[in-house]
């Protein structure tokens, strides 16, 4: 039989194989857009000498090279420990690590069970896995407005119907949430509500922490909702509180039912993002679904990283690193804020001082901060980059998005770059006649 590619039936077969992508791709792939941050990262690479106050990367100088080297040496010096670490792990992750995570974050609560901890390839993978476990197209998910824009991308990819609730210095306005829930009840849409998502500490992008009062009110509201509704707490910046003693408790630890909250934590921000290790703490009814789905993805994240982190947590090295980082970021937040106060014309921008995390959220009244606006262009000319605030507002049809907000980070830039970045940002603003 001839295998000639010119045979008409063969050509048809090839055509079918190399169909136009729109026909080839799944509906989920078509719904999945490139995150705006990819474009921003691209700018950072392409524009020479650019100071990025945009990318959420961590401080470079304080990455724990010596600490990780010592941990790795300890692991590999012991042949048994070394072989355990270099072997495949289990799908939910290294058990010792899961137990340390349980003890650190959930001891004495209704979530005090290592079996409810799943270790993921960053908390981002956990958010995606949980989404696979609970979302169908058309499900409603309520988010803070503004919110972590990578997660709204995830929700769009699942075909979720995203609804925003206004936030302020104390986090999501829970009275506004109650109004929205009333509306959903009245319109018969409550059955489609699947989750309420909050970034509960030093929010990305807003910087605020959900207050204790609001946490209590939110928990009470969730318990009044149908059982399919989950509270998703993204606690990515939990460890980076400058005053950890004043930090309100994790939402999972406040849920006496043990059934309504999934909390996400990460070792990326407080230790080393290169280890790309995050943790999810989920109610028992979700564990099997999440673990089965993770089995399909990778049947377990990087086991070596789990062993490094387990040792870091068990020996106190993790705590030493976190303590150092809190001081580093507190200093850097102050440097950036002071430089902005010095450089910007009085009243041209407003922001709250940081109490943790990596971000300042600015309002620049009367200025369009969008990617096509004059400020963004002027900043690129000055070689400084910020994240346009428009990306972070809920992509809810008909909901207005403030156009004068932007996010700056003091994470990755050096002290000198923060000062110079603020100078360039002010020069860009002044060039607009502000």
- Return the DSSP state at 34: P
Instruction: Work out how close the CB of 334 gets to ligand PLP at its nearest, in angstroms, rounded to a whole number.
Output: 21
337 near ligand PLP, rule: CB under 6 A: no
Binder of ligand PLP out of 91, 157, 200, 204 (CB under 6 A): 204
Residues in the chain: 434
Determine the Cα–Cα distance for residues 422 and 434; give it in Å rounded to an integer: 15
Specify the residue, 124 or 355, whose C-beta has the smaller distance to ligand PLP: 124
Let me know the angle formed at the C-alpha of 167 by 161 and 170, rounded to the nearest 5 degrees: 140
In angstroms, what CA-CA distances link 152 with 75, 123, 244? Answer: 39, 15, 28
199 scored as a contact of ligand PLP (CB under 6 A): yes
Smallest gap from residue 273 Cβ to ligand PLP (A): 5
**Stretch touching ligand PLP by CB under 6 A, among 3-11, 120-128, 152-160, 310-318:** 120-128
Helix (H) or strand (E) holding 9: helix 8-17
In the shown chain, the binding pattern of residues 48 to 77 toward ligand PLP, with x for contact by CB under 6 A and - for none, equals --------x---------------------
> Quick one: the chain helix, strand, coil %, rounded to 5?
50, 15, 35
End-to-end CA distance of the chain: 76
Q: 236 vs 250, which CB is nearer to ligand PLP?
A: 236
Cβ-closest residue to ligand PLP?
A: 122
What is the b/e burial string over 58-88, where b = at least 16 CB atoms within 10 angstroms of the residue's CB? bbeeebbeebbeebbeebeeeeeebebbeee
Is residue 360 near ligand PLP by the rule CB under 6 A? no
Is residue 214 within 8 A of residue 249, CB to CB? The reply is: no
By CB under 6 A, the count of residues binding ligand PLP is 13
Query: Which string of DSSP letters, residue by residue, matches 75-110?
Result: HHHSHHHHHHHHS---TT--HHHHHHHHHHHHTTST
Task: Pick between residue 199 and residue 422 the one whose CB is nearest to ligand PLP.
Answer: 199
Site string for ligand PLP, 225-264 (x = CB under 6 A): ---------x-x----------------------------
Using the minimum distance from each CB to ligand PLP, give the nearer residue, 63 or 81. 63
At 290, list the tokens.
């999440």
Taking CA atoms, 314 is separated from 101, 130, 401, in Å, by: 10, 28, 45
> Is residue 392 within 8 Å of 149, Cβ to Cβ?
yes
Is residue 254 within 8 Å of 235, Cβ to Cβ? no
Binding pattern to ligand PLP, positions 263-302, x when CB under 6 A?
---x-x----x----x------------------------
Give the residue, chosen from 111, 135, 148, 149, that forms a contact with ligand PLP under the rule CB under 6 A: 148
Q: Which of 43/266 has CB closer to ligand PLP?
A: 266
Name the segment binding ligand PLP (CB under 6 A); options: 70-78, 122-130, 179-187, 363-371.
122-130
Q: How far is the CB of 410 from ligand PLP (least distance, A)?
A: 14
Going by C-beta distance under 8 Å and a sequence separation of 6 or more, which residues neighbour residue 42? none
The yes or no reply on residue 124 touching ligand PLP (CB under 6 A) is yes
Shortest Cβ 346–ligand PLP spacing (Å) = 31
Per-residue HEC secondary structure of 185-203 comes to: HHCCCHHHEEEEEEECCCC
Window 155 to 184, contacts with ligand PLP (CB under 6 A): none
Q: How far is the CB of 267 from ligand PLP (least distance, A)?
A: 7
Residues of the shown chain interacting with ligand PLP in the complex, contacts defined by CB under 6 A: 56, 122-124, 148, 199, 204, 234, 236, 266, 268, 273, 278
């Amino acid at each position: 039989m001839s295998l000639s590619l010119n045979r008409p039936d063969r050509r048809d077969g090839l055509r079918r194989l190399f169909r136009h992508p729109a026909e080839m791709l799944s509906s989920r792939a078509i719904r999945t857009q490139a995150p705006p941050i990819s474009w921003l990262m691209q700018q950072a690479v392409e524009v020479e000498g650019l100071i990025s106050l945009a990318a959420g990367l961590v401080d470079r100088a304080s990455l724990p090279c010596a600490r990780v080297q010592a941990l790795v040496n300890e692991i590999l010096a012991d042949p048994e420990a070394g072989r355990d670490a270099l072997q495949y792990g289990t799908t939910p992750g290294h058990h010792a690590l899961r137990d340390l995570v349980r003890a650190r974050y959930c001891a004495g609560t209704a979530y005090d069970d290592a079996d409810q901890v799943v270790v993921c390839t960053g908390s981002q993978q956990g958010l995606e896995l949980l989404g696979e476990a609970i979302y169908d197209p058309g499900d409603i998910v309520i988010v803070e407005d503004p919110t972590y824009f990578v997660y709204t991308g995830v929700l769009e990819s699942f075909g979720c119907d995203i609804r925003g609730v206004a936030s302020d210095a104390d986090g999501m306005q829970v009275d506004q949430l109650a109004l929205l829930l009333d509306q959903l009840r009245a319109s018969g849409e409550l059955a489609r509500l699947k989750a309420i998502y909050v970034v509960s500490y030093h929010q990305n992008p807003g910087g605020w922490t959900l207050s204790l009062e609001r946490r209590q009110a939110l928990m009470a509201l969730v318990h009044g909702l149908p059982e399919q509704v989950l509270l998703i707490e993204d606690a990515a910046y939990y460890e980076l509180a400058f005053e950890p003693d004043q930090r309100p408790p994790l939402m999972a630890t406040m849920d006496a039912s043990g059934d309504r909250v999934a909390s996400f934590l990460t070792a990326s921000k407080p230790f080393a993002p290169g280890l790309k290790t995050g943790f999810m703490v989920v109610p028992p009814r979700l564990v099997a679904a999440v673990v089965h789905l993770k089995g399909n993805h990778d049947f377990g994240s990087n086991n070596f990283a789990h062993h490094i982190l387990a040792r870091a947590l068990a020996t106190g090295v993790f705590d030493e690193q976190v303590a150092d980082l809190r001081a580093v970021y507190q200093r850097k937040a102050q440097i950036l804020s002071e430089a902005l106060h010095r450089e910007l014309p009085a009243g041209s921008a407003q922001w709250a001082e940081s109490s943790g995390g990596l971000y300042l959220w600015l309002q620049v009244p009367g200025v369009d901060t969008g990617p096509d606006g004059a400020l963004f262009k002027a900043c690129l000319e000055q070689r400084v980059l910020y994240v346009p605030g428009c990306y972070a507002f809920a992509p809810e049809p008909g909901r207005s998005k403030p156009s004068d907000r932007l996010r700056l980070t003091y994470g990755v830039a050096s002290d000198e770059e923060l000062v110079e970045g603020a100078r360039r940002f002010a020069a860009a603003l002044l060039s607009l006649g502000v």
